[in-house]
Amino acid sequence: MSSDPTLDPTRLDARALADAVRRGAVSAVDVARAHLARVAADRHHAILAVDPDRVIAQATAVDARPDRDRLPLAGVPVTVKDNVDVAGEVTTAGSLAHDGMPAEADAPVVTRLRAAGAVLLGRANMDEVAMGASTQTSAYGPTRNPADPRRSPGGSSGGCAAAVAAGLVPLAVGTDTGGSIREPASQCGVVGMAPSPGLVPADGVLPFHPELDRVGPLARTAADAALLLDVLAGGLADPSPVRRIGVVAELSGPRNRPDVLDAFDRWSRDLETSGIEVVTVSVADGPEALAAYMTLTSVAALDWLGPWLASGRAGEEVVRRAEYAASLVEEGAERVEWAEQVRTRLHDQVAAALREVDVLVSPTMPTVAPPLVGEITPEELADPLAAPYTDCWTVVANLAGVPALSVPAPAVGLPVGAMLMGRPGADADLLALAPTR
């Protein structure tokens, strides 16, 4: 197959790229080679373990498929977070404490990607066993933010967000237990979604807290995110009209940096200008969500962390989190019971708010991307919002059991995200609303 020499595949979004491959305007092999060259030249350390021969073999197979003209992701390079099983590859989860055994089978989401014609390109860097919000705890070195390389890309799916933002791939698959897709999407200026619980299968993915874990898309546009989610979920319902949105007061107040609030206000005003009614609603326990989340996820991790700790190769953050969980257990059941009560109240409060409005909105996180450790200035060290509380708003959606999407807000300077939360099953509504910003 000959390709149009004037076409640069790395500049196309996923929909346009798949269309070009389906039409024969460019071959999947040429698409793969162009993106491999981008990865080889990249200095953000977003994608690990790239096997060019394996990538080209996948692309060659796509070009040879008789159904190529019907593949939704024909020839589109996709990177997956390193806690998702890919047959024949070791799932390291950003750790040296893994068992070293290659996965025997693809995770269902990988099977769906292959069936849709995607070309898997490497593994995305991540915080070790998803414990972190910066991608600095990876045993393979930190990932840098393409918006400012001295800053964090967020985490734990920071490699996914950085890879998409840097143009290494148009799409990535991450995981989100408390914000690990949406928070890096916000920091890197891309789109990221934690889908409705159970919408995307999590089999073959290293669990953190199975009741809270989500597998979802990252992309440069909401339309591309919708395309990928449709594949991962095995189909999406058609969106319903969104006529009324609620700004969550507890997540949209002075705990956010002024520049974050400015960007979010511009974004929400754009929605209002488009004809959507914007009102204020309350989720009273929102400020308690992070503490409850840390308690629940840390204790739950004790169920699966044992072999990682026993290896003697687990990193400092993993050991610290295990010690914290052990201390909670020693304190007795009261703390965990409190956290479960907060979770129940959040579920009820979010459900009540979503009976008043179609979608809830807030900033995705209260700050912009913090500097990487070792690159923090004295002024930034004195800023309380530079502390690692980047997940304090995103955890609300996981605890409440609702889908949530982060989209770029019109920021001046570093990227800012706006978060949308909807009723379970209303994933398509959020994605359809996002382009109206």
Active site residues: 81, 156, 180
Decide if 230 contacts 112 (C-beta within 8 A): no
DSSP string of 60-71? HHHHH-TTGGG-
Task: Output the six-digit token pair for 198.
Answer: 């159970």
Residue 70 one-letter amino acid: R
Interacting residues of 349 by C-beta distance below 8 A, sequence separation 6+:
282, 283, 284, 285, 286, 400
DSSP string of 229-269? HHHHHT--PPPPP--EEEEEGGGSSTTS-HHHHHHHHHHHH
Rg of the chain, C-alpha, whole Å: 21
In angstroms, how far is CA 430 from the centroid of its own chain? Answer: 15
User: What is the rounded distance in angstroms from the CA atom of residue 163 to the CA atom of residue 47?
Assistant: 7
The residue whose two tokens read 């060659």 is 60
| Of 372, 347, 327, 370, the residue nearest 423 (C-alpha) | 347
Q: What's the Cα-to-Cα distance from 306 to each of 205, 212, 378, 411, rounded to whole Å? A: 17, 20, 38, 43
Angle at 412 between CA 409 and CA 414, to 5 degrees: 80
DSSP string of 305-327? -HHHHHTT---HHHHHHHHHHHH
Angle at 173 between CA 168 and CA 176, to 5 degrees: 125
Cis peptide before 156 (omega within 30 of 0): yes
